[in-house]
Chains A and B, each alone.
Chain A
């Protein structure tokens, strides 16, 4: 059974720091992996989607990498800002047409 783990569970950094969020999954046979942002009491915003054949995706200050063989993905946030404060969720999809399997998330707090 596929399980997704995110470390750390919570992270506090001062504004301007670069940071890395980690995601691991137990079965390397995935279809794709997606990173989301969730603000308190809100829905999910998709940040980056990496297909299983890809190694990384970039969007602005965000960069996500995927090492399928080791079952790991990282989300790199450059020059963090207070507006980046949110919970970041990693999720994998094992086959086309199936639901996402989520980790518990990393709650990020960026102080000004």
Chain B
């Protein structure tokens, strides 16, 4: 089945630095990639939607200049957390839209645990 590879699985960075998270679709073309964030004991919240070759669409309250999303190819999407602060510490996970016959589903990456110290 469709697989999305996400890395790193965890990262610790200093406050003020930037961190890049990558998601690759291994055996299919991901025209749309969704990026979610999950705080402890909370639901996954959509941050942005990216379509290959175009600018990402950000959800209300998500700073587009802080969370840079690039979807330059059909198999790679990246999320860069710029000038990270402790409040950005969270679980970030990507999801690609997949289609099997007439069924639309989603395949998720394994997630990235970001800790900003």
Question: Does any Cβ of A come within 8 Å of B25's Cβ?
Answer: no
Closest chain A residue to B109, Cβ basis: A43
A49: B residues at CB distance < 8 A: 103, 105
Question: Does any Cβ of B come within 8 Å of A41's Cβ?
Answer: yes
A89: B residues at CB distance < 8 A: 43-44
A99-B34 contact, Cβ under 8 Å, with A42-B110, A43-B110: yes
- 8 Å CB interface, B29-82 against A: 32, 34, 36, 41-46, 49
Write the residues of chain B forming the contact surface with A, with a CB cutoff of 8 angstroms.
Answer: 6, 32, 34, 36, 41-46, 49, 91, 93, 95, 97, 103-111, 113
Of the A-B pairs whose beta carbons lie under 8 Å apart in the complex, a sample of 17, sorted by A's number, is A4-B43, A34-B105, A41-B113, A43-B6, A43-B93, A43-B111, A46-B106, A89-B44, A91-B44, A97-B97, A99-B34, A99-B46, A99-B95, A101-B46, A102-B44, A104-B41, A104-B43
Distance in angstroms from B2 CB to nearest chain A CB is 10
Closest chain B residue to A103, Cβ basis: B43
Q: Is the CB of A46 within 8 A of B105?
A: yes
A99-B110 contact, Cβ under 8 Å, with A44-B93, A104-B42: no
Chain A interface mostly = strand
The docked-state distance in angstroms from the alpha carbon of A41 to that of B115 is 13
Q: Is the CB of A102 within 8 A of B104?
A: no
